[in-house]
Amino acid sequence: MSQFAINLLFVGASFALYIGIAIWARAGSTKEFYVAGGGVHPITNGMATAADWMSAASFISMAGLIAAGGYSASTFLMGWTGGYVILAMLLAPYLRKFGKFTVPDFIGDRFYSRTARVIAVVCLIVASVTYVIGQMTGAGVAFSRFLEVPSNVGIWIAAAIVFLYAVFGGMKGITYTQVAQYVVLIIAYTIPAVFIALQLTGNPIPMFGMFSTHTESGIPLLQKLDEVVRALGFQDYTGDASSKLNMLLLTLSLMIGTAGLPHVIIRFFTVPKVADARWSAGWALVFIALLYLTAPAVASMARLNLMTTIYPEMSGQVQDYEAAANNPIRYEDRPEWIRSWEETGLITFTDHNNDGRIQFYNDANPDFAETEATRGWAGNELVVNNDIMVLANPEIANLPPWVIGLIAAGGIAAALSTAAGLLLAISSAISHDLIKKTINPAITEKGEMRAARISMGGAILLATYLGLNPPGFAAQTVALAFGIAAATLFPVLMMGIFSTRMNSAGAVSGMLAGLVTTLLYLFTYLGWFFIPGTNMLANTPENWLFGISPLGFGPVGALANFVVAFVVSRATAPPPIEIQQLVESVRYPKGAGLAVDH
Amino acid sequence: MADDHTNAATNAAAYWRANLRLIIGCMIVWAFVSYGCAILFRPLLSGIPIGGTDLGFWFAQQGSILTFIGLIFFYAWRMNRIDRKFGLGE
């Protein structure tokens, strides 16, 4: 059977499973559509949250970014897990006690204001659509590879499938489907990692393997990797970060963004009790950590395998890296996986010095220019898109075809599950918070469902269009979405819970301050509405305000949000007494009913 | 009646203080392992080797994640006890 047929079989079988579950658990009423009847066990909920959470960014893109960035890309690992600590302690239990369906619902009621609700909807939509752009990029890579089409075509196919999939069921369908998706994606991520860890280190557990001895060279794997990349002018894999400030800010942005993202928070409305909301966050992180502890191993091993594929003489005990560096493989002898990724346009080769060999190195390093000249190299010849690393990893390591089919199914599961959860959050914000609660309270249940589906379609079209020329690799685009959530929704949720004094004027001006400063900063460097070519300044460190990268701007926006909200609230009247009592009551678990529609 | 009401209010305030104390303790550990050990204090930990690199690198890629899991379960367990102690659980 050809690789194409095997891929199709694995992806097809996993789809049949999800669709089967979606039909079996089909949502009947609007309530089930949003929160699955409020009765999901913490472990089940944790697993579904993990699937919801781990998107194309985590599965497809993150390890590739770590492979390229080494130590400084650890921000993604810490940022996307550390947010759960904030969720478990500062948000989930209280929001569960409050007992509302959606984030704008909470903000609208807590700040007794229609304006606050509408602005929360706007913030939610901006963050979620940005997030979906990242999913489309990642899903596009997966579809283009396994259907063997160019990456643009892959994105449109992904869009069609996500749309069909997301309108099919509501939350309940999604909760149980997502449990299945979690199982598929974790198996798909782990199996190739185990094989590769065994090949390289003899240790079957990837998270330990990355700190063990590299069998072929007899030295620790990470030390070997440092030596190899150093010989090619790259920064040491384990070397320290060039900007600790950006590392801190990006980590913080991802952490507080996690706690402000509506599709994750909505998960904690679906557990039966307040105590379960705390346990749920813990279980979610356990299931997430299974992938996140493997990801750094995948990253380091994929990088080493990629380098030694191009420079075979670097793989064993190397006395002379100079000689090994001068003997990369010939382009005509390149392995099959390079050929197939070339067809998607995600790997490109240009023979700058016309020697028929692949020189793959860091040509942007000024300290390496001399070595470059001595070796007769005329520029880096192989451009490898970071987003392909995880999917290409089994092929690079020569694993059997079924493993490659499995990883295609896993990557698509990751992208689909998150895109569906986000689209649900977007559609419920529009149909429930905007239309039913603000514009047309008399709308029928049927009309509300129809509005939900139309807004899903609109969001997918917009995200797909922007996903064709994304503002970054999948994980970077998703990091921008986190920055937006961190700067807008997180501060008002926190103040809504912890400050009885915070009033509607403060919340409204805070959200606006966070949203406007963050978007202005992002659009200045990445283009208006992320449309390429419309940026006012080049996105380079010299142009950044105080050297802060757009990826790490979230906490600055959050600070603006907090300060403005504080000042405005002190200058205006305190909230009504019943709101202050409401904030008090949210602090105590006693008396939490089911999530109610009111 | 007035006494009962005051007692309930004092009890609730004590519960909230206990919760905040626990949260602050956990958040200090949370910040220490991630922003501290993994990023800012990495140069200080560079003398402790671990599998071809140093302890700071391990905290950045694995150690902080493991600590986060421990923290959440510790918090959930302690909070459930605090809920019961103050009679404010469900």
What pLDDT was estimated at residue A553? 93
Task: Residue B43: list chain A partners with CB under 8 A.
Answer: 240
The shortest C-alpha distance from B65 to chain A (Å) reads 6
What pLDDT was estimated at residue A104? 87
The tens digit of pLDDT for each residue in A576-597 reads: 999 999 998 888 887 665 444 4
What pLDDT was estimated at residue B2? 53
What pLDDT was estimated at residue A571? 95
Could you tell me what percent of chain A has a pLDDT over 90? 44
What residue type is B87 in one-letter code? G
What pLDDT was estimated at residue A168? 63
What pLDDT was estimated at residue A37? 46
Q: How far apart are CA A471 and CA A455, in angstroms?
A: 23
Q: CA dist A425 to A81, A261, A306, A428, B17, Å? A: 21, 10, 39, 5, 34
What token pair was written down for A428? 């419920």
What token pair was written down for A451? 């509005």
The shortest C-alpha distance from A299 to chain B (Å) reads 11
Within 10 A of A440 (CB to CB), how many other CB atoms are there? 12
Helices (H) and strands (E) in chain A, counts: 27, 2
What residue type is A433 in one-letter code? D
DSSP string, A477-508: HHHHHHHHHHHHHHHHHHHHHH-SS--HHHHH
Task: Residue B28: list chain A partners with CB under 8 A.
Answer: none
A window 553-592, beta carbon within 8 A of B? 584, 587-592
Give the nearest partner residue to B83 out of A212, A244, A275, using CB atoms: A275
| Per-chain mean pLDDT for chain A | 87
Contact state of B35 with A589 under an 8 Å Cβ cutoff: no
Contact state of B62 with A247 under an 8 Å Cβ cutoff: no
Q: How far apart are CA A549 and CA A540, in angstroms?
A: 8
Please state the φ and ψ torsions of residue A7, each to the nearest 5 degrees.
-55, -45
The shortest C-alpha distance from B4 to chain A (Å) reads 17
Q: Kindly tell me if the per-residue pLDDT of A598 is higher than 60.
A: no
Check CB contact of B63 with chain A, cutoff 8 Å.
Answer: no
What pLDDT was estimated at residue A25? 67
Task: Residue B53: list chain A partners with CB under 8 A.
Answer: 211, 220, 222-223, 238
What pLDDT was estimated at residue B37? 93
What average pLDDT score do residues A547-554 get? 90
What pLDDT was estimated at residue A597? 41
What token pair was written down for A155? 């994105």
Q: Greater confidence, A350 or A591?
A: A350
What pLDDT was estimated at residue A540? 84
What average pLDDT score do residues A455-472 get? 86
What pLDDT was estimated at residue A140? 86
What pLDDT was estimated at residue A318? 87
Cβ–Cβ under 8 Å, residues A443 and A46? no
With H, G, I as helix, E, B as strand and everything else as coil, classify residue A439.
Answer: helix
Q: Between A and B, how many CB-CB pairs are < 8 A?
A: 135
What pLDDT was estimated at residue A219? 93
ipTM: 0.93
What pLDDT was estimated at residue A335? 92
Q: CA dist A395 to A145, A296, A492, Å? A: 12, 18, 46
Give the nearest partner residue to B35 out of A207, A248, A274, using CB atoms: A248
Domains and CATH numbers, chain A: 3-301+399-479 (1.20.1730.10), 320-395 (no CATH)
Check CB contact of B52 with chain A, cutoff 8 Å.
Answer: yes
What average pLDDT score do residues B78-84 get? 92
Q: How far apart are CA A158 and CA A200, in angstroms?
A: 34
Q: What's the pLDDT band for A482 if we cut at 50, 70, 90? A: very high
Check CB contact of B66 with chain A, cutoff 8 Å.
Answer: yes
Give the nearest partner residue to B26 out of A74, A85, A226, using CB atoms: A85
What pLDDT was estimated at residue A594? 47
**φ/ψ bin of A218: left (φ > 0), alpha (ψ from -120 to 50), beta (otherwise):** left
What average pLDDT score do residues A389-408 get? 89
Q: Kindly tell me if the per-residue pLDDT of A378 is higher than 60.
A: yes
Domain ranges of chain B: 20-85
β-sheet bridge partners, residue A220: A213
The angle formed by the CA atoms of residues A177, A178 and A184, to the nearest 5 degrees, is 95
Q: Kindly tell me if the per-residue pLDDT of A132 is higher than 80.
A: yes
In this prediction the pTM is 0.90
What pLDDT was estimated at residue A267? 77
The tens digit of pLDDT for each residue in A513-544 reads: 999 999 999 998 888 888 878 888 888 888 88
The tens digit of pLDDT for each residue in A150-192 reads: 888 888 988 888 887 777 655 445 677 778 888 988 999 999 9
The shortest C-alpha distance from A497 to chain B (Å) reads 12
A window 72-91, beta carbon within 8 A of B? 74, 77-78, 81-82, 84-85, 88-90
What average pLDDT score do residues A418-430 get? 82
Q: Kindly tell me if the per-residue pLDDT of B1 is higher than 60.
A: no
What average pLDDT score do residues A480-494 get? 94
The distance of Cα A578 from the centroid of its chain, to the nearest Å, equals: 39
Q: How far apart are CA A435 and CA A433, in angstroms?
A: 6
What pLDDT was estimated at residue A557? 95
What average pLDDT score do residues A359-382 get? 92
Check CB contact of A273 with chain B, cutoff 8 Å.
Answer: yes
